[in-house]
Chains A and B, each alone.
Chain A
Amino acid sequence: VSAAALLRLEIDEFHAAYCAALDEDRIADWPRFFAADAIYRITARENEDAGLPVGLVYCEGRAMIEDRALAISKTAMFAPRYLRHFVTNVRVLGTDAATITAAANYLVLQTLVDERTTIQQAGRYFDRFVRVEGHLLLRERHCVYDTLLIDNALVMPV
């Protein structure tokens, strides 16, 4: 098995663990996938294409990511929901001594009680991974969604 295939597998495993934390409502675990100086941003494709910097969610550093997890679990009011993340088309775009750059498509389905399951987001992750104590962590996760018109509220991260 080539080193490239092993890396692909490792990234696939990372996505699976990340999605499981969100799908299983373990929001407190979500910040653990990020390096201390990580950037996490969700933005619409129209902003990305126009070079506009806004984030629907914009976290600078793991502390802000932890604060978002805290707000979702302790202060935010929203209807109960199930989320299901799917990550496919994983591509490693580049590697150097410190960083692995990768991309993947993502799809998030949302189910509310009394309502049909809907596509909440279809988009693409642009990731930069670093290796900390042997494990991959996100130094940057940039989620660019095609689904410009968000259905009411995006409660959980993608």
Chain B
Amino acid sequence: MPHAEFVWPEEGLARIPDWVYTSDAVYEREIERIFHGRTWNYVALEAEIPNEGDFRRSFVGPTPVVVARGTDGAVHVFENRCAHRGAEFCRQERGNRPEFVCPYHQWTYDLAGRLVGVPFRRGVKGEGGMPPSFRLDEHGPRRLAVATRRGVVFASFCADMEPIEDYLGADILADFDATFDGRPLRILGYYRNTVPANWKMYHENLKDPYHATLLHAYLVTFGLLVAGNKSAMIVDPKGRHGTMASARPDKLEVAPEHRREMRAFHEGLTLADPRILDYVREFSSPWSVTMQTIWPNMVVQRELNTLGTRQIVPKGPNEFLMIWTMFGYAGDSAEMTRHRLRQGNLMGSAGFLGLEDNEAMKFVQDGLAKSRGGAAIVELGGADEGTSEKLITEAAIRSLYRHWREVMEL
């Protein structure tokens, strides 16, 4: 890629140039170095594929993969691309089957993604067919390394990745384990949406506690988050992952000294049915909310009692897909499940918080796409990086870009 185009502003991490979000060349390098590089990518929950032969389609970066449970009980992840002509052969979203057959010429793969059958390999009546030198075990979709942690499945194109626990780091792992606390999960369902913005903005939005009290009037009006709540923006030592955490106060009201700064605050509005704000304390964690960004493609959402994973699937520099898997625990009572469903109104593309995030990111991408040569100002909290207990800081975004620039060599 022509380097001259991609000069970082002299202010350093206090600026992020627009081309980070809009360049096709940068995006191609991200696939190679990040999604197909030394990263663990979220692909599924084990609760989605409990039995031998269970599978689901998924993605690593933009690349389609199949996640399947083999006859050995292990989880396998392999590219959803036939070795023959490249067809994306698994079209069913999820299901159970003994093997995968590409419908085009019926090349057949086992549950681990190994090529096990090629029709007419020896030809017909000794004529045609594959050359004798063609060996099944030398062909097949790329098979990925797999790691699982507390029922969460990660995959990597890199064969010698460190263990997932080391990849996450102790601080991120602590909150991850608070959500995936060993109770078996119950899948409640899926949301899917596009966001017409660069995929990194989703990470940045969840490394930006500043926006939460300003954009999300719902949170502040109904007292779920206010400036002054105990909170933290936790960052792993490499700056990739983050946990935006806050602890709900016992009393849901906004201190008068904070109201002036928060235009989003609407005095006097109350909910007719405030059950959506209820918090059943069920976690071993000081935080009532932890929104975790696991680099490069995962969000773990624990907002009170609404739980979910989000998978980021980039579609070029200007758009990504979000696949949300909402879950509870297998032992939940019927009322607890309904509580999680009611609280789910906060999340997703129609959620009181979710829709605003998606709209705000679209506004940013629109702004970048329609202008030239700009850069974002990332100066809240000075030049601080890493974990912070302040809300009004962009330290975690600077940490992310220190890491990104190192990996991208930009």
Q: Which residues of A contact B (CB under 8 A)?
A: 42-44, 46-47, 50, 52-61, 63-64, 66-68, 70-71, 74-79, 148-155
In the complex, which of the residues B221, B266, B355 contacts A155, with contact meaning CB atoms closer than 8 Å? B355
A interface majority secondary structure: mixed
B interface majority secondary structure: mixed
Contact A77 B356 (CB under 8 A): yes
Report how far A21 CA is from B22 CA in the complex, Å. Answer: 39
Q: Is B196 on the interface with A (CB-CB < 8 A)?
A: yes
Q: Is B193 on the interface with A (CB-CB < 8 A)?
A: yes
Contact A56 B349 (CB under 8 A): yes
Indicate whether A153 sits within 8 Å of B266 (C-beta atoms), given known contacts A46-B93, A77-B215, A77-B217.
Answer: no
Q: Is B363 on the interface with A (CB-CB < 8 A)?
A: yes
Apart from the given pairs A58-B345, A64-B345, A153-B350, 13 other A-B contacts in the complex at a CB distance below 8 Å: A53-B341, A58-B341, A58-B344, A63-B273, A66-B272, A70-B272, A74-B269, A75-B264, A76-B217, A76-B218, A150-B192, A152-B193, A153-B359
Report how far A148 CA is from B193 CA in the complex, Å. Answer: 8
Report how far A44 CA is from B354 CA in the complex, Å. Answer: 17
In the complex, which of the residues A44, A50, A63, A66 contacts B192, with contact meaning CB atoms closer than 8 Å? A44
Q: Which residues of A contact B350 (CB under 8 A)?
A: 42, 56-57, 150, 153-155
Q: Which residues of B contact A74 (CB under 8 A)?
A: 217, 221, 266, 269
In the complex, which of the residues B188, B215, B218 contacts A71, with contact meaning CB atoms closer than 8 Å? B218
Contact B189 A52 (CB under 8 A): yes
Contact B189 A54 (CB under 8 A): yes
Report how far A79 CA is from B196 CA in the complex, Å. Answer: 14
Contact B272 A67 (CB under 8 A): yes
Residue of A nearest to B219 (CB): A75
Contact A55 B358 (CB under 8 A): no
Contact B349 A55 (CB under 8 A): no
Contact A55 B344 (CB under 8 A): yes
Contact A54 B341 (CB under 8 A): yes
In the complex, which of the residues B321, B342, B362 contacts A58, with contact meaning CB atoms closer than 8 Å? B342
Indicate whether A78 sits within 8 Å of B359 (C-beta atoms), given known contacts A53-B341, A66-B272, A151-B194.
Answer: yes
Report how far A150 CA is from B276 CA in the complex, Å. Answer: 24
Interface string of B315-352 (1 = CB under 8 A from A): 00000010000100000000001100110110011101
Indicate whether A75 sits within 8 Å of B269 (C-beta atoms), given known contacts A56-B348, A59-B345, A152-B195.
Answer: yes
Report how far A78 CA is from B342 CA in the complex, Å. Answer: 22
Residue of A nearest to B360 (CB): A77
Indicate whether A61 sits within 8 Å of B273 (C-beta atoms), given known contacts A76-B217, A77-B215, A153-B349.
Answer: yes
Report how far A153 CA is from B221 CA in the complex, Å. Answer: 21
Minimal beta-carbon separation of B298 from chain A (angstroms)? 19
Residue of B nearest to A31 (CB): B272
Q: Which residues of B contact A58 (CB under 8 A)?
A: 341-342, 344-345
In the complex, which of the residues A47, A53, A64, A79 contacts B273, with contact meaning CB atoms closer than 8 Å? A64
Contact A70 B269 (CB under 8 A): yes
Within 8 A of A (CB), among B356-375: 356, 358-360, 362-363
